[in-house]
Structure 1
Amino acid sequence: MKELEIEVSADYIHHIVGVMKERFGKEAIVLFHVADKYECFLEDSAIVSEMLEIPQELYLEENGTTVHVTRFPADELEGYRRRLTALGYTTCTNETRGSDGTHILKIYESKE
């Protein structure tokens, strides 16, 4: 069975970040494992960019909304996570995989 393609929009980014923060705490920095990188968005992107000195990148622009992303290689997660923890931040990761096993930008939500 083929997975449905997710249209990544500013609304979708706000939604998935919001759901993760509801699960793990409003102050948690949400790191999404996507392919061979970890990505964070919105306020988390600005914090991670500043604290870890990693430049933000433009992710998308739509209807006057700009979304930035901060990315780092997946194999550097532990070191960056330690640094963020030492600075007083809590982190959580999303490890959702697609049907081919590749990490994707998606969260699983219960269908209520």
Structure 2
Amino acid sequence: MFGIMKEYHNDLFDAKGEMNMTSKLIQITKFEKEPIQEIDSAYFNNYPIVYILYNESKKPAAYIGQTVHLQRRMKQHLSDTQRKPLKTALFIGNEKFNQSATYNVNL
């Protein structure tokens, strides 16, 4: 996945090809109302975000999506009974992303 991002966004990586982790690029949290509300919405709601909702139970499941309105979309997912088994949320985003970049990450 990161190889695809590097191809389109070389400025997100240092000279060694490693991802610049000093910016808010990746965030992992519990897929619950309170932790989701604590996400810096000013940062994550202004740019396209790719997200993965998943669990690691005996019957693993995942949902992959993208949005530019993170808080609103997570509120929809939290009220969706099909998403109840999912326990963890992973968000990938950066101010340098554009809509087409998220499609490449979302492969």
Q: Structure 1 length as normaliser, TM-score? A: 0.28
Higher RCO (C-alpha 8 Å, min separation 6): 2
Q: Structure 2 length as normaliser, TM-score? A: 0.29
